[in-house]
Amino acid sequence: MRASLSRPARAVLGLAGCALLLAAGGHLALTFLAVAPRNAASSKAADAVNDYIYPELEQNWQLFAPNPLARNETVWARATVRTGAGDFRTTPWRDLTAEDVAAIRGNPFPGHLDQNQLRRAWDAYGQSVSGPERGKDAHGVLLTTYLRRVVLQRLQQHVQADADAADAAGDRIIRVQVRGRFALIGPPAWDTARASERGVKPWFRTMPWWDVEPGDRIPGSRP
């Protein structure tokens, strides 16, 4: 005759089952509120929903109203470098998004930095900073500073590599410039309603030059 579980063991299993059910129910509820159309419940629980969903469970669509991106966006950057000899040079434009894609493609465990850091910094800046391409309120200044620092760190790697290859010490980035490249995703051949979107050339949005501030640099970095 098969021995039955002891009362403590059954109690532990029961508690574990209840915990799993509560966790699954909470996950489903928060995920539903994240993708559902805006309502009183989702507004009231917005902080809890955002803390749980982002960034690991972020989704680019809404329940009942799918809204995938209709264009490809890539972030480019360049820098003005002061050399150790006191001269100045401007680096070529670098496609930072392409570098992220190359790091992700074929990687079964891509890092969040490659997937999200640059993209989220650019999206937040583009959505929140308007006018003559600069944010003057505290939030706009914060987003501009964050994007500038992300780009600076990325460009520093290339400037450092170039300096090491040329055996040229003292090269230092003093300002950076960012631009976005936008290209519409063309409609399928059978979609005649959007035929005008075919053949649209990519366009750019170029930011002004941003001076690098002392707090932008990683402590101990050379460029």
Higher pLDDT, 201 or 97: 97
The two tokens of residue 152 are 């600076």
Mean pLDDT of the chain: 82
- Percent of the chain predicted with pLDDT > 90: 30
Range with the lowest mean pLDDT among 63-72, 89-98, 167-176?
63-72
In DSSP terms, which residues pair with 205 in a beta bridge? 180
Please state whether the predicted TM-score (pTM) of the whole model is above 0.85: no
Per-position DSSP letters for 109-170, written without gaps between them: S--HIIIIIHHHHHHHHHHH--TTT---SHHHHHHHHHHHHHHHHHHHHHHHHHHHHTT-TT
The answer, yes or no, to whether residue 189 has pLDDT greater than 60, is yes
In degrees to the nearest 10, what's the CA dihedral of 10, 13, 19, 22?
-80
Average pLDDT over residues 174-185: 91
For the chain, the domains span 7-53, 71-216
pLDDT tens per residue, range 103-123 = 999 888 888 778 889 988 998
pLDDT score, position 1: 43
